[in-house]
């Protein structure tokens, strides 16, 4: 082949590669290289616009909730004290082992929860980075989060619900996972009661609906929407904390996407008011966040002051790009304001009141009295106690066991049985404990009304007896190890009479 023909052939191959093959290669490369795409911090507003078309009552509900929030704030009727919200993670994975891929480790999920607690309680390690101009309004929201210990059926749980995507009907990893798809196919069949839990779905992709670009970091559902999709959705690579960043790395690996989306879930808006552009005249319903014309995408070194997109005259302040409800990189965010804290707590009272009494773990009953004859056996673990007095049946065929599991108001605890009048102490001293645990037995002596088991005192160590003697001051200084329960009860009664 002549040199001329070789040159012409080479030129044609180059033209073919540049025209057809190179674009295909770049397209594939960009699709699987997240860093090459511009990530979208939040999709909550777009999701709301879709939902209010599907559910026309949603917009009306939000208007009613807003009226209630403003009334609560105006009347200064915001709930005082700490609100602790039980959370459940729904971790969507494709079969990876726990800790591999999108099936995130328990430690990383806990790190995310820790970061949310730090951010909402103003104990975040970077709180000192808040500029002096904003430090006066930076707030402890008095909202905390815990992993749920009881599921909706009152069974014990870790608060982490790991779901293999292949078990979800109609879900395919090759599909376009936009918010509508996720709501209908992933959230709906897995959601827990929104009146008792914050549902957090962790997924490996969130696509745009217009072009299916895999660029969205997370989104939330404002209060008042459909129950079967209520909660927040996080891209798996955003789950982490300042102390334990997500292994994927990047600017959004420190857990602030979760903080941001929970803010929306508790009815906060973006600091620029959710309009698309030129938003200086649009309010975010919070007075202590400076007006902003548009989102800020501030990145390290997070230099203050940043943009000042709205001129507010003599009292003008620059944009609060450090606010969790802006779009800055994770490491540039460090505060909620007092106005935002008030609004979130008012939103809980107005739209999520069930969270005010929701329990992270087992609950119990104060001052419970069990009445009845205990001359035989009583299987406490088979009993559900829901009111103040329960009659204990009498049997004569099996030796009594105590303490044992008792189900108390949808929670597990322990109690000892000893006769006609058995009083149960305060809830704060009780924790789920296996049956027949001697330490729990002594704990009943220390924290509750006198509760003695149907057994000789000699079965307890001298140290245990001494603990009982010092805390209750009802036993004589010696010979207690030989006394039967009835004799001990008489001593208790005598001691009380002497007092």
**Mean pLDDT, range 289-307, rounded to an integer:** 94
pLDDT of residue 413: 33
Supply the DSSP string of 188-213, one letter for each residue. Answer: TTT---TTT-EEEEEES----TTT--
- C-alpha pair distances (Å), 215 with each of 34, 209, 267, 405: 8, 11, 24, 50
49-62 per-position pLDDT tens digit: 999 999 999 999 99
Task: Tell me which range, 29-38, 357-366, 447-456, is most confidently predicted by mean pLDDT.
Answer: 357-366
pLDDT of 417: 36
For residues 417 and 453, what is the distance between their CA atoms, to the nearest angstrom? 6
CA distances (Å), 14 to each of 6, 26, 118, 498, in order?
Answer: 12, 16, 56, 105
Does the pLDDT value for residue 361 go beyond 80? Answer: no
Rounded to the nearest angstrom, the gap between the alpha carbon of residue 179 and the centroid of all alpha carbons in its chain is 21
Active site residues: 261
Domains of the chain and any CATH numbers: 34-356 (3.40.390.10), 369-498 (no CATH)
Q: What whole-number distance in Å separates Cα of residue 227 and Cα of residue 221?
A: 10
- Does 328 sit behind a cis peptide bond, omega within 30 degrees of 0 on the bond before it? no
User: Which pLDDT does position 482 carry in this prediction?
Assistant: 53
In this structure, what is the dihedral angle of CA atoms 319, 325, 327, 330, given to the nearest 10 degrees?
A: 110
> What proportion of the chain, given as a percentage, has pLDDT over 90?
57
* pLDDT score recorded for residue 33: 35
Q: Are 88 and 198 in contact (CB under 8 A)?
A: yes
Give the β-pairing of 218-220 and 232-235. Answer: antiparallel
> Which of the four pLDDT bands, split at 50, 70 and 90, describes residue 487?
low
- Global pTM? 0.69
How many other CB atoms sit within 10 Å of the CB of residue 244? 19
The residues, any chain, with a CB within 8 Å of residue 168's CB and separated by 6 or more, are 92, 185, 186, 189, 190
Tens of pLDDT, residue by residue over 89-138, are 999 999 999 999 999 999 999 999 999 999 999 999 999 999 999 999 99
Percent of the chain with pLDDT over 70: 65
The rounded distance, in Å, linking the Cα atoms of 467 and 222 is 53
Please say if the pLDDT value at position 4 is more than 80. no
Q: Which two tokens stand for residue 194?
A: 């929104």
């Amino acid at each position: 082949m002549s040199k001329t023909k070789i040159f012409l052939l080479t030129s044609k191959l180059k033209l073919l590669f540049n025209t057809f093959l190179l674009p295909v290669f770049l397209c594939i490369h960009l699709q699987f290289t997240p860093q090459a795409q511009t990530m979208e911090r939040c999709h909550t507003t777009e999701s709301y616009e879709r939902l209010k078309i599907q559910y026309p009552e949603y917009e009306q509900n939000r208007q009613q909730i807003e009226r209630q929030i403003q009334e609560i704030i105006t009347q200064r009727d915001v709930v005082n004290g700490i609100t602790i919200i039980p959370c459940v993670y729904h971790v969507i994975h494709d079969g990876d082992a726990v800790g591999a891929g999108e099936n995130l480790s328990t430690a990383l999920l806990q790190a995310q929860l820790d970061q949310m607690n730090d951010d909402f309680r103003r104990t975040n390690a970077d709180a000192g980075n808040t500029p002096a101009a904003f430090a006066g309004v930076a707030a402890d929201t008095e909202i905390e989060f815990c992993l749920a210990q009881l599921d909706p059926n009152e069974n014990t749980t870790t608060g982490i619900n790991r779901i293999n995507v292949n078990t979800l009907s109609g879900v395919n990893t090759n599909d376009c996972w936009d918010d509508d798809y996720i709501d209908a196919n992933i959230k709906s069949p897995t959601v827990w009661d929104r009146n008792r839990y914050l549902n957090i779905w962790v997924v490996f992709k969130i696509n745009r609906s217009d072009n299916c670009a895999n660029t969205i970091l997370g989104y939330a559902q404002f209060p008042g929407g459909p129950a079967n999709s209520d909660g927040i959705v996080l891209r798996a690579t955003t789950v982490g904390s300042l102390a334990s960043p997500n292994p994927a790395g990047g600017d959004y690996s420190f857990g602030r996407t979760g903080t941001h989306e929970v803010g929306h879930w508790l009815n906060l808006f973006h600091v620029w008011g959710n309009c698309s552009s030129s938003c200086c005249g649009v309010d975010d319903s919070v007075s202590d966040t400076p007006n902003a014309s548009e989102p800020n995408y501030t990145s390290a070194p997070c230099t203050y002051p940043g943009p000042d997109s709205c001129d507010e005259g003599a009292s003008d302040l620059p944009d609060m790009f450090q606010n969790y409800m802006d779009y800055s990189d994770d490491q540039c965010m460090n505060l909620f304001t007092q106005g935002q804290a008030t609004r979130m707590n008012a939103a809980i009272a107005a739209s999520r009141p069930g969270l005010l009494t929701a329990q992270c773990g087992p609950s119990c009953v104060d001052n419970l009295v069990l009445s009845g004859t205990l001359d035989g056996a009583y299987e406490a673990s088979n009993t559900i106690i829901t009111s103040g007095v329960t009659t204990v049946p009498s049997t004569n065929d099996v030796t009594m066991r105590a303490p044992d599991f008792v189900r108390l108001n949808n929670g597990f605890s322990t109690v000892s049985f000893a006769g006609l009048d058995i009083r149960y102490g305060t809830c704060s001293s009780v924790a789920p404990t296996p049956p027949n645990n001697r330490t729990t037995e002594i704990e009943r002596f220390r924290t509750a009304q006198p509760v003695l088991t149907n057994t000789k005192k000699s079965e307890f160590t001298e140290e245990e007896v001494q603990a009982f003697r010092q805390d209750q001051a009802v036993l004589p200084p010696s010979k207690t190890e030989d006394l039967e329960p009835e004799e001990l009860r008489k001593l208790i009664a005598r001691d009380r009479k002497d007092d």
